[in-house]
Amino acid sequence: MPDKPDIRSPTRIAISNQKGGVAKTTDAINIAGALAARGQRVLLWDADPQGYLTMGVGFDDAYTADAPNQYTALKQPGSHDVGDLILTHDEFDIVPANIDMFQLEQELVSAMRGRERVSQLLADVEGYDFVIMDCPPSLGHLTDNALLACENIVIPAEAEDTSIRALDILFNQIDTLEENFDETTITEQAIVVSNIDYPLDGEQKSMLEWFDDTFGDYIPIYEFRNRAAVKRAFNDGVSIFGSDEECDQEDELLQLADHLIENRGEMV
Ligand SMILES: Nc1ncnc2c1ncn2[C@@H]1O[C@H](COP(=O)(O)OP(=O)(O)OP(=O)(O)O)[C@@H](O)[C@H]1O
Ligand SMILES: [Mg+2]
pLDDT tens digits, residue range 85-103?
999 999 999 999 999 999 9
Output the CA 202–ligand 1 centroid distance in Å.
Answer: 22
* Share above pLDDT 70 across residues of the chain, in percent, rounded to a whole number: 97
CA distance 64 to 43: 20
CATH of the domain at 77: 3.40.50.300
- Strand pairing category for 187-196 and 152-157: parallel
CB neighbours of residue 268 within 10 Å: 14
Output the CA 26–ligand 1 centroid distance in Å.
Answer: 5
CB neighbours of residue 109 within 10 Å: 11
What is the predicted pLDDT for the residue at 9? Answer: 79
Output the CA 133–ligand 2 centroid distance in Å.
Answer: 11
Output the CA 97–ligand 1 centroid distance in Å.
Answer: 17
Burial class (CB within 10 angstroms; exposed 0-12, middle 13-18, buried 19+) of 5: middle
Output the CA 23–ligand 2 centroid distance in Å.
Answer: 7
Nearest listed ligand to the Cα of residue 222: 1
What is the predicted pLDDT for the residue at 268? Answer: 74
Please give the number of the atom of ligand 1 that sits closest to the Cα of 17.
21
Q: Is residue 158 part of a domain?
A: yes
Q: Is residue 118 part of a domain?
A: yes
pLDDT tens string 48-57: 999 999 999 9
Cβ of residue 71 lying under 6 Å from some atom of ligand 1: no
Q: Indicate the pTM of the whole model.
A: 0.96
Q: Is residue 5 part of a domain?
A: no
Cβ of residue 192 lying under 6 Å from some atom of ligand 1: no
Q: Is residue 26 part of a domain?
A: yes
Cβ of residue 248 lying under 6 Å from some atom of ligand 1: no
CA distance 246 to 35: 17
Cβ of residue 235 lying under 6 Å from some atom of ligand 1: no
What is the predicted pLDDT for the residue at 1? Answer: 46
pLDDT tens string 109-134: 999 999 999 999 999 899 999 999 99
Give the number of domains in the chain: 1
Burial class (CB within 10 angstroms; exposed 0-12, middle 13-18, buried 19+) of 254: middle
Please give the number of the atom of ligand 1 that sits closest to the Cα of 137.
25
CA distance 230 to 83: 30
Query: What's the mean per-residue pLDDT of the chain?
Result: 95
Q: Is residue 85 part of a domain?
A: yes
pLDDT tens string 169-224: 999 999 999 999 999 999 999 999 999 999 999 999 999 999 999 999 999 999 99
Q: Is residue 268 part of a domain?
A: no
Nearest CA to ligand 1 atom 14: 21
Q: Which of 170, 192, 195, 197 to mutate to test the pocket of ligand 1 (most atoms within 8 A of CB)?
A: 195
pLDDT at 5 over 50: no
Strand arrangement of the beta sheet that strand 187-196 belongs to: 87-88, 93-95, 42-46, 130-134, 11-15, 152-157, 187-196, 221-225
The domain of 97 spans: 11-262
Cα-based torsion angle of the residue sequence 165, 264, 57, 107 in order, rounded to the nearest 10 degrees = -60
What is the predicted pLDDT for the residue at 14? Answer: 98
Q: Is residue 55 part of a domain?
A: yes
Cβ of residue 125 lying under 6 Å from some atom of ligand 1: no
SS3 of the chain: the string is CCCCCCCCCCEEEEECCCCCCCCHHHHHHHHHHHHHHCCCCEEEEECCCCCHHHHHCCCHHHHCCCCCCHHHHHHCHHHCCHHHCCEECCCCEEECCCHHHHHHHHHHHCCCCCCCHHHHHHCCCCCCCEEEEECCCCCCHHHHHHHHHHCEEEEEECCCCHHHHHHHHHHHHHHHHHHHCCCCCCEEEEEEEEEECCCCCHHHHHHHHHHHHHHCCCCCEEEEECCHHHHHHHHCCCCCCCCCCCCCCHHHHHHHHHHHHHCHHHCC
Nearest listed ligand to the Cα of residue 192: 1
Q: Is residue 247 part of a domain?
A: yes
